[in-house]
């Protein structure tokens, strides 16, 4: 019997890794747990992802698409008259309110780069992706500051269990823009 052609297997493995990590955390992620979740032979996970770090890189890269993609889709940065802090604060609130466990997973994967050097370039891609979108309306340094501010606010909400405060986020992003002399 020949090999079964399964062009979607790699993607199913990544999706399964995200589900396992969401349920058990990164500590519960293994080739074996992902293979079971994806309903594929263990050898398939190691064929597509030689190491666990390779699998985590693919999972992080996929989860990175969240907020930057939302900002791009909305096109809020295309309108030079739009209130940038208000638009970003609303989008951040929408993203964070979507599914808390998804946002927690994205940050867990992002912060895993602290201990797993293989993940660091992918974590940097997230910052760069959002920063790139923001640079359409401001300079690179201010865009980087805004990314750091949004990151910090999200982490505070996740870690404290507090409700997301859109007015506070709008105010703080406005201050970052104002300090750069950029129009808000």
Please, what is the average pLDDT of the chain?
A: 86
pLDDT at 50 over 80: yes
Nearest to 38 by CA among 10, 77, 58: 10
Class (C level, CATH) for 9-59: mainly alpha
**For position 36, what pLDDT does the model report?**
96
Higher pLDDT, residue 91 or 4: 91
**For position 47, what pLDDT does the model report?**
94
Rg (CA), the chain: 19
**What is the value of pTM for the model shown?**
0.78
Q: How confident is the model at residue 1 (pLDDT cuts 50, 70, 90)?
A: very low
Domains 9-59 and 64-179 share a fold: no
pLDDT at 100 over 80: no
pLDDT at 2 over 50: no
pLDDT at 17 over 70: yes
Of all residues in the chain, what percent are helix, strand and coil, respectively (each to 5)? 75, 0, 25
CB burial of 32-42 (b: ≥16 within 10 Å; e: otherwise) equals ebbbebbebee
Q: Please name the fold of domain 64-179.
A: Tetracycline Repressor; domain 2 (1.10.357)
Higher pLDDT, residue 173 or 110: 173
Torsion sign, CA atoms 30, 31, 34, 36: negative
**For position 95, what pLDDT does the model report?**
80
CA distances (Å), 156 to each of 107, 153, 163, 165, in order? Answer: 12, 5, 10, 11
Reported as a single tens digit per residue, the pLDDT across 89-98 is 998 888 877 7
Q: Domain limits of the chain?
A: 9-59, 64-179
Torsion sign, CA atoms 114, 152, 132, 12: positive
Helix (H, G, I), strand (E, B) or coil at 41: coil
d(CA 105, CA 98): 13
pLDDT at 175 over 50: yes
d(CA 172, CA 119): 29
């Amino acid at each position: 019997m020949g090999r079964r052609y399964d062009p979607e297997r790699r993607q199913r493995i990544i999706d399964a890794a995200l589900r396992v990590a969401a349920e058990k955390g990164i500590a519960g992620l293994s080739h074996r747990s992902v293979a079971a979740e994806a309903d594929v032979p263990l050898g398939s996970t190691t064929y597509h992802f030689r190491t666990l770090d390779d699998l985590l890189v693919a999972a992080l890269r996929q989860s990175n698409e969240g907020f930057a993609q939302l900002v791009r889709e909305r096109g809020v940065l295309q309108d030079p008259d739009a209130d940038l802090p208000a638009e970003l604060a609303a989008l951040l609130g929408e993203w964070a309110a979507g599914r808390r466990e998804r946002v927690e997973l994205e940050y867990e994967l992002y912060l895993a780069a602290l201990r797993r050097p293989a993940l660091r370039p992918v974590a940097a891609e997230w910052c760069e992706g959002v920063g790139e979108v923001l640079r359409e309306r401001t300079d690179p340094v201010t865009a980087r500051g805004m990314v750091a501010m949004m990151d910090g606010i999200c982490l505070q909400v996740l870690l404290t269990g507090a409700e997301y405060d859109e007015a506070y986020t709008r105010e703080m992003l406005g201050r970052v823009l104002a300090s750069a002399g950029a129009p808000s």
